[in-house]
């Protein structure tokens, strides 16, 4: 079997203010918490934060490119937004196989995004269908 419980993969990336702006443009999500310094100062975060869903794109990236990789079908994702990610902060997205459901060809992955100091930004689980186990 190609996929084993405990198998991991990860990528690292930061989001620049321009990338956050581009994402706001694509989705139409212009919530000022993501781009307006003055607005963000008056919130609990103190400065603009990267959209949680944009950060989550790193999880789908590891899943699609590495584990299980190309050809896998993304069936579901649970996300808990635990801490904010600020513009330019280095993020590590890691997935780890928790369960392999042989009869359905489904894989359950633990999915975590951390900062370089270990702070968890997002945690959750994904369900993916693969072509072959």
Q: CA 23: distance to chain centroid?
A: 14
3 lines the binding site for a second copy (CB under 8 A): no
Residues 74-103 that bind a second copy (CB under 8 A): 74-81
- Kindly calculate the radius of gyration of the chain based on its CA atoms and give it in whole angstroms: 16
Q: What is the C-alpha separation between 34 and 108, in angstroms, rounded?
A: 31
Q: Which of 57, 99, 101, 116 forms a contact with a second copy (CB under 8 A)? A: 57
Binding mask 17-36 for a second copy (x = CB under 8 A): --x--xx--xxxxxxxx---
CA atoms within 13 A on the CB side of 76: 7
- Can you give the binding site for a second copy, defined by CB under 8 A? 11, 13, 15, 19, 22-23, 26-33, 43-44, 51-54, 56-61, 64-65, 70-71, 73-81
């Amino acid at each position: 079997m190609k996929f084993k419980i405990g198998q991991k993969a990860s990528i690292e990336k930061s989001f620049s203010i321009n990338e956050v702006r581009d994402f706001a443009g694509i989705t139409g999500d212009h919530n000022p918490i993501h781009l307006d310094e003055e607005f963000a100062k008056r919130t609990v975060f103190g400065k603009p934060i990267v959209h949680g869903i944009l950060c989550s794109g790193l999880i789908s990236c590891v899943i699609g490119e590495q584990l299980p990789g190309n050809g896998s079908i993304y069936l579901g994702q649970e996300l808990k937004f635990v801490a904010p990610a600020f513009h330019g902060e280095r993020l590590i997205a890691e997935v780890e196989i928790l369960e392999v459901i042989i009869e359905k060809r489904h894989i359950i992955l633990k999915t975590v995004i951390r900062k370089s100091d270990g702070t968890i930004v997002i945690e959750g689980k994904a369900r993916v269908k693969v072509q072959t186990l």
